[in-house]
Structure 1
Amino acid sequence: MAAATSRRDFLKVTASAAGLLLAYRAAPAAQAQEVATLSAYVRIGPDGLVTIMAKHPDMGQGVATSLPMLIAEELDVAWENVRVEQAPADAELYGNQRSGGSRTIAMNWDDLRRVGAVGRATLIQAAAVGWRCAPHECSTLPGRVVHDASGRSASYAALAPLCAALTAIPMDSVTLKAAKDYRIVGKSMTQLATPAIVTGKPLFGIDVVRPGMLYAVYEKAPVFRARVASADLDAVKAVKGVHDAFIIEGGDEPDGLVSGVAIVADSWWRANQARSKLNVRWADHAGSDQSTAGFARAAAALNQGPPHETLRQDGDVSMAWTKATKTVEAAYDYPFLAHAPLEPMNCTADYRDGRIELWAPTRNPGGVREGVAKTLGLPLKDVTVNVVRSGGAFGRRAQVDVYVEAAAISKRVNAPVKLLWTREDDIRHDFYRPAGFHFLKGGVDADGRVVAWQDHFVTFGDAKQAASSAGLAPTEFPARFVPNCRIVSSRIPLNAPTGPWRAPGSNALAFVMQAFIDELAHAADKDPLDFRMQLLGDAAVVGDGANAYDAGRMRGVLSAVAEMSHWRNRGSQGKRTGLGVAFHYSHAGYFAEVVKVRVDDDGRVRPLQVWVAGDVGSTIINPSGADSQVVGSVIDGFSAALHQKITIENGATVESNFTDYPLLRIGDAPPVEVRFVKTDNPPTGLGEPALPPAIPALVNAVFAATGVRIRSLPIDTALLRA
């Protein structure tokens, strides 16, 4: 078996074999005015417009703008002459196309700049051949190659068709621009889809229309994994406009095709209305005895016994308690959360003649392609996935359930079908951010230093491992920064599916760790920000490789946010008003945040101002997009902290819509000031790392305003009434 090929090697090999990643296309003289395909990423038209393929799906995080900016910068074209198209799912051409984990920029920072640089070098080579000069005698201005000595120049549009006959330029042979020479990268650019979004033009998966398309809904059991026992299909088929109704047996894994009833009609409204006629009966399932209240009881019981697993053991925690001048014990918990994207889950599928084509708003196009092929028993080559812009989701669109459902329904009726979930479907059949329980104890010495830390983390999973996104890394801060540290874990069985929510794991863990650190700061009678600085210590980097924690970078953002918020001069903020601080490292980003809140006499929490300092490396590719990601992260965090929870009763989700699972409204959203601390590190992503500190900074501000500790989310306003 051949050795695995790295993505960089893939780029090199393909470039040398086929010409800049995938074949230059010859342009005969008769076609000289046609668009010239420079590479799989770049097409240049006779009018000088440059089309750049957006390799990764865009869920609103802006990668369909920021990634083409990297190519355009090194290609040296004017941004106003760039057009962007979404690349189809094609691992052979584009490699890993999955968006997520705030890794998209880090994965592509070097390679996509080289794609642009190779394109520019190839255009220079084409000009040099024609002018009978050496390539190094030429340079570029946006969209043109210039012969420096003679002043001759030629447009990219004229040169692009000539590139097909040239020998491919190796990816690693090109020289990339210095940051000081950037014309595009580092400049604020409006997301290219914004005009279509604000004018309501068809753009998202929910907007897709195909000739002869039918519409479908899919009814699944309230209790996850339960199967259909019976349904009144004849009554549904009798409804006007209904094309068909049928039971799909499916399997037991939520991230796939599970049992349900499909209704297909000539309009989505008719299909959805026909659901009321189903009279479906579901088979009994063991998961129906699970509940949120039962989980809390189980967690409390597990905390009284020996843990299932020891995650970390440093020093002698038992001895350390005797040396601590003060100890604090507290129990923290947080609920399940749904993604609740503004665009509910949907997919359009067209099965015919043993092949299927999908229009999928997904962040995981390769996974969709593989999942559909497996479900329908098709070879991968017979599955085409067109990636459509997603209306949000941060993690939810990594799963393939809705896409394989649409594919199976289309195959059954042998027609193009759009499957669209209702809001209720979306919230009640999610892959939830897992709930969790932490039983904590900490000790500080006479100098206010943390000398002992203990956490019994009760989460969800089976005997072998935690459920998806329900784990706790043994390196989670403040591990490695406290000499005596014991972290143990126990697990509760769970039937409901879980998965990554925005900033997986960190979205909940930062709340617990940073809020309890605040409790220890108060016990030590220390300024909360100074206490954190002391806890970080003087070390530069703790650990190495993927587990490295750069304390110096964290001190940098903590200092920056202290300056931004005038923390040192905060004094009295007024009646029931206070400031809270928190920091967190996740998804390769270092963030510190300060929140100012006022708590009304009725207990309502009003965020007034947020300051955010972040370190995501040396370069902010699109500053306006970066600011938007930070602001959105803060608002998502506040929505969760103030309003959101998913409750399980009798094995099923109780909440169903924005009436009982609300988002933060615009009138309640505070101003957010953002500052990026640039350091000599490669740039990393921004979709997630700004969210985790927002929640603990908020609850720490609530304590500063009221003296009440928030140890359970969402915040119970009854606890805060004057």
Structure 2
Amino acid sequence: MDATFPHSPSRRLFLKTGAAAGGGLLLSFNLPAAGRAEGEATANPFSAFVRIAPDGVVTIAATRPEIGQGIKTSSPMLIAEELDADWSRVRIEQAPIDAKVFGEQSAGGSTSTPDDWTPMRQVGAVGRALLIQAAAQRWKTPAAGLTTEPGFVVDAAGKRRASYGELAQAAAGLAAPDPKTLVLKDPKTYRIIGKPQKQSDTPAIVTGKPLYGIDVRVPGMLYATFLKAPVFAAKVAEVDLAPAKAVKGVRHAFVVDGGTELEGLLGGVVVVGDTWWAARKGRNALEVTWADHPTSAQSSAGFAAQAAALHKQPPHRNVRTVGDVKAALGGAAKVVQAEYSYPFNAHATLEPQNCTASFKDGKVEIWAPAQNPEDGRELVAKTLGIKPDDITLHFTRSGGGFGRRLMNDFMVEAAWISKVVGAPVKLLWTREDDLQHDFYRPAGYHSLTAGLDAKGDLVAWRNHFVSFGEGEKFVRAAGMNATQFPFGAVPNYALDVSVMPLGVPTGWLRAPGNNAYGFVLQGFTDEVAHAAGQDPVAFRRRLLGEPRLIGEPGKGDSFDTGRMRGVLDLVAEKSGWGRKTGKGVGLGVACHYSHRGYVAVVMEVAVADGQVEVRKAWAAVDVGRQIVNPNGAEQQVQGSILDGVGSAMGQQITIENGAATQSNFGDFPMLRFADAPDVEVHFRVTDHDPTGLGEPALPPAPAALVNAIFAATGKRIRSLPIAGQLA
């Protein structure tokens, strides 16, 4: 995993209790940002809280951004379980953004579940302990003799019971116990965790209630569009603003000089109107001459040619070597070589980038579908020359994130425009803006060589990876972890790297890095298995070997061969691996580890007249001892696999003359319902801390797909997208 996400803060809890408005219990807690002194808590009006009203309704704040991964439901489930709340009487509301109180409030890297697993349950346990203590005082009996049922405290004999609503006011006057002194529930007693729960926002979504950034309305709001150069970071050379200003409903049109940081405020032309359509018409009336920019010399074809030349030369540097690869390849009974590549790719969130901002009296208020809002706060403060504390941020639900909204360029643009025009502004990107000004998954080029001994065992593996960067630094999201499997399973291993300079913006796309490396590593592993004359599943089993941990325990790159063998065996069983298929039909397998999750996928495809039909996919998943919300978990696995299929089949961003040529879904095709296979999901529970599910199921999907195509046709797909290669 090459992605670098912000480090998780300390998850220490600072708890306090108090009376809620109108009576009841208010349980406030702080999850401090890293760097706060031990024991230093703040009384903050935006404290995270659990409210228990006199009528027994429990309101739980969801602290993370909801981008479709279901955390707005699953995190409150953790609190409600240990509180022993009646889930039918739980209400969920989005918490405000405040790093001083909540610590990290980002969504990325499938980290929300592992980071929230213990502290959120501790919050619920504290609330339950307070309610029991309140009942003990009321009944003048030891607290040890009391227990709870959903929404009630009861005595052991079952003679007395009091609702949480009855006890909430008394509990509010008690001091919160130290969470570390409380014993959390035995999973065997769970009533909420592990049970399928509907997503909290579903009714509002299907009835069209305003939830998303694109839905925000504020009094006096104007609408803005921002036209930027096709070549990234190029500035305006010449423009006549008069045609835009002449459009009815256009209020402002002006040039933004901008800077050179790709994630910041770039140069362009802004048009602001009473309606978005007026602003768009004004923008379309413009004719802009853009200044020359060095990136205009770059292209996808040029990068491919450079990579091919670099593969024939010694690598720029070695990242990791084990054993003597050269000698092992020289003595191998069979040597397998192949070159794999994949293109730049876009996030293509269904909700384009947008932000509403209101700048007034040196302060700015922002409503944004952000994945990483605190970084946005810092960027806006730096760009506008104001203090971070003078920026108020509000979460909105995101219509997809996939890593795109970890960058906050749209937030800076909206805040800047509002400051210039002196009014609240909603900035809304067009679909063309979104595809042509993304932070793309970097392209990559791999020259792979493997050596097999006379028994068909893998004895050497070398990967010369050509990526983007300068010197020993990669551009964002373009690096590769040297401990990607089969590291540790082959006695002679080397990862070599060469880099090319890049002016195209790059960023983290769902399962960063791994979304491409899974295709490369598992595609080539399949080739090696066939060269060894072995069944692809059997070959992987031999390669994984006996259960053991490769890497340091607890580290992100540690790899448990037993857990991977477990999901591989499970998916083989559920898919009926080894069964005969008809002509033009094939089964393909792949397995990959990323984001602390182990996933194996089998796909069945049929190929006829150059067209691929993905008939079905099976997935076996190991993300630890607990699936918090099986309903949401299954959807995340299914969505990840469908995402992987869609991107592999036809998606790419092609750079020509320094600009992206794709502009909309007509030339950047999304997977359609008619082409989406059924995805059957099976979870394998193991005794490890649970982790997230937004990403780990995606990486093996493209590899399983191309391996199935090989089984059906005998043709290897070594570059993505697949479209056009089977004609």
1:25 aligned to 18, 32, 49, which one?
18
Task: Identify the match of residue 26 of structure 2 among 37, 60, 70.
Answer: 37
Helix, strand or coil at the partner of 2:393: strand
Counterpart of 1:551 in structure 2 is 561
**2:83 paired residue number:** 75
Give the distance between the partners of 2:87 and 2:585, measured in 1 at CA: 46
Aligned partner of residue 386 in structure 1, secondary structure: strand
Show the counterpart of 1:417.
425
Pairing of 1:397-416 with structure 2 (within 5 A): 397-416=405-424
Q: Residue 609 of structure 1 is aligned with which of 609, 616, 636? A: 616
Any conservation in 2 of the 1:593–1:694 contact (CA below 8 Å)?
yes
1:562 aligns with 2:572: yes
Task: Provide the residue aligned with 1:239 in structure 2.
Answer: 247
Contact 1:102/1:687, CA 8 A, preserved across alignment:
yes
Distance across 2 between alignment mates of 1:256 and 1:697: 38
Alignment of 1:523 with 2:512, yes or no, is no
Match of 2:41 in 1: none
Does residue 1:699 correspond to 2:706, yes or no? yes
Answer yes or no: is the 8 Å Cα contact 1:38–1:160 preserved in 2.
Answer: no
Q: Deviations over 1:518-561 (max 9, x none)?
A: 11111111001000111111141111131211000000000001
Query: Higher mean Cα deviation, 34-43 or 704-713?
Result: 34-43
**2:35 equivalent in structure 1:** none
Any idea what SS the aligned residue of 1:68 has? Answer: helix
C-alpha distance in 2 between matches for 1:143 and 1:381:
39
Structure 1 position 720 matched with structure 2 position 726: yes
Secondary structure of the structure 1 residue equivalent to 2:220: coil
Q: Distance in 2 between matches of 1:263 and 1:36?
A: 50
Could you list the runs of 5+ residues in structure 1 that have no partner in the other structure? none
Q: Secondary structure at the match of 2:592?
A: strand
Which of these residues, 497, 503, 514, is aligned with residue 489 of structure 1? 497
Judge conservation of contact 2:84–2:148 (CA < 8 Å) in 1: yes
Q: CA deviation at 1:149?
A: 5.0
1:227 paired residue number: 235
- Structure 1 residue identity aligned to 2:60: I
Q: 2:199 aligns with which of 172, 182, 191?
A: 191
**Alignment-mate amino acid for residue 516 of structure 1:** F
Match of 2:661 among 643, 650, 654: 654
Alignment of 1:338-349 (within 5 A): 338-349=346-357
Which one-letter code corresponds to 1:537 in the other structure?
G
Larger helix proportion of the pair: 1
- TM-superposed deviation, 1:709: 0.4
Amino acid at match of 2:689: P
* Residue 47, structure 1, aligned to residue 58, structure 2: no
C-alpha separation between the residues in 1 aligned to 2:84 and 2:651? Answer: 46
2:590/2:703 contact within 8 Å kept:
yes
Aligned equivalents of 1:259, 1:720: Cα separation in 2: 42
The structure 2 residue matched to 1:392, chosen from 373, 382, 400, is: 400
Alignment match, 2:96: 88
| Contact 1:592/1:693, CA 8 A, preserved across alignment | yes
Q: What are the superposed Cα offsets for residues 154-213 of structure 1, whole Å, 9 maximum, x if unpaired?
A: 222232233332222112111111011000000001111111112222111111111111
Equivalent position of 1:151 in the other structure = 159
Separation in structure 2 between the aligned mates of residue 638 and residue 579 of structure 1, nearest angstrom = 15
For residue 135 of structure 1, the aligned residue among 136, 140, 143 is 143
After superposition, give the CA deviation of every residue in 1:537-590 in whole Å (9 maximum; x if it has no partner).
11411111312110000000000011001113x12x111110001100000000
How far apart in 2 are the matches of 1:218 and 1:6? 34
2:12 and 2:119 in contact (8 A); partners too: no
Task: Name 1:377's counterpart in structure 2.
Answer: 385
- In 1, the alpha carbon distance for the partners of 2:11 and 2:320 equals 38
2:56 is paired with a residue whose SS is: coil
Q: Is the 8 A contact 2:371 2:401 kept in 1?
A: no
SS of equivalent to 1:461? strand
Q: What is the correspondence of 1:294-309 to structure 2 with a 5 Å cutoff?
A: 294-309=302-317
The partner residue of 1:628 within 635, 641, 644 is: 635
Tell me which residue corresponds to 1:278.
286
Q: Is the 8 A contact 1:38 1:163 kept in 2?
A: no
1:266 aligns with 2:255: no
Work out the CA distance in 2 between the residues paired with 1:389 and 1:480: 42
Distance 1:6 1:516 in 2: 35
Question: Does 2:322 correspond to 1:320?
Answer: no
Q: Note if contact 1:8-1:111 (Cα within 8 Å) is conserved in structure 2.
A: no
8 Å Cα contact 2:24-2:172 kept in structure 1: no
Counterpart amino acid of 1:565? S
1:506-526 CA distances to partner (integer Å, 9 max, x unpaired)?
A: 000010111111111111110
Counterpart contact for 1:232–1:277, Cα < 8 Å: no
The superposition leaves residues 109-162 of structure 1 with CA deviations (integer Å, 9 ceiling, x where unpaired) of: 011000111111112222223333322222212112223357333222232233
1:451 equivalent in structure 2: 459
The alignment status of 1:585 with 2:569, answered yes or no, reads no
Task: Give yes or no for contact 2:650–2:723 (8 Å, CA) kept in 1.
Answer: no
Distance in structure 2 (CA, Å) of the matches to 1:490 and 1:295: 12
Confirm or deny: 8 A CA contact 1:706 1:720 kept in the other structure. Answer: no
Q: Does the 8 A contact of 2:244 with 2:281 survive in 1?
A: no
- Aligned sequence identity (%): 56
Normalising by structure 2, report the TM-score: 0.94
* Distance (whole Å) between structure 1 residues aligned to residue 618 and residue 524 of structure 2: 21
Q: How far 1:36 moved relative to its partner? A: 4.2
Which amino acid in structure 1 is aligned with residue 365 of structure 2?
E
Equivalent AA in structure 1 for residue 565 of structure 2? R
Taking the aligned partners of 2:130 and 2:286, their CA distance within structure 1 comes to 62
Q: Aligned letter for 1:646?
A: I
Matched to 1:619, the amino acid is: Q
Alignment RMSD: 1.5
- Equivalents in 1 of 2:252, 2:103: separation in Å? 39
| 1:86-115 Cα distance to aligned partner (Å, 9 max, x none) | 111111221111111011100010110001
Partners of 1:507 and 1:279 lie apart in 2 by 39
Q: For 1:34 and 1:683, how far apart are their aligned partners in 2?
A: 36
Q: Which moved more, 1:384-393 or 1:312-321?
A: 312-321
Q: Deviations over 1:425-469 (max 9, x none)?
A: 000000000000001111111111111111110001122311111
What is the match of residue 509 of structure 2? Answer: 501
Distance 2:8 2:515 in 1: 31
Distance 2:400 2:245 in 1: 34
1:220-254 superposed Cα distances (whole Å, 9 cap, x missing partner): 11100111222222321221111111122221111
Aligned pair count reads 700
**Match of 1:58?**
66
Whichever residue aligns with residue 25 of structure 1, its letter is G
* TM-score, scaled relative to structure 1: 0.95
Secondary structure of residue in 2 paired with 1:162: helix
Per the alignment, do residues 147 and 393 of structure 1 end up closer, same or farther by CA in structure 2, a change over 3 Å counting? same
What's the CA shift for 1:6?
8.6
3-state SS of the aligned residue for 1:38?
Answer: strand
CA distance in 2, matches of 1:708, 1:166: 70
| Structure 1 residue 310 corresponds to structure 2 residue 303 | no
The CA distance in 2 between the partners of 1:124 and 1:268, in whole Å, is 55
Q: Structure 2 CA distance, aligned partners of 1:530 and 1:79?
A: 46
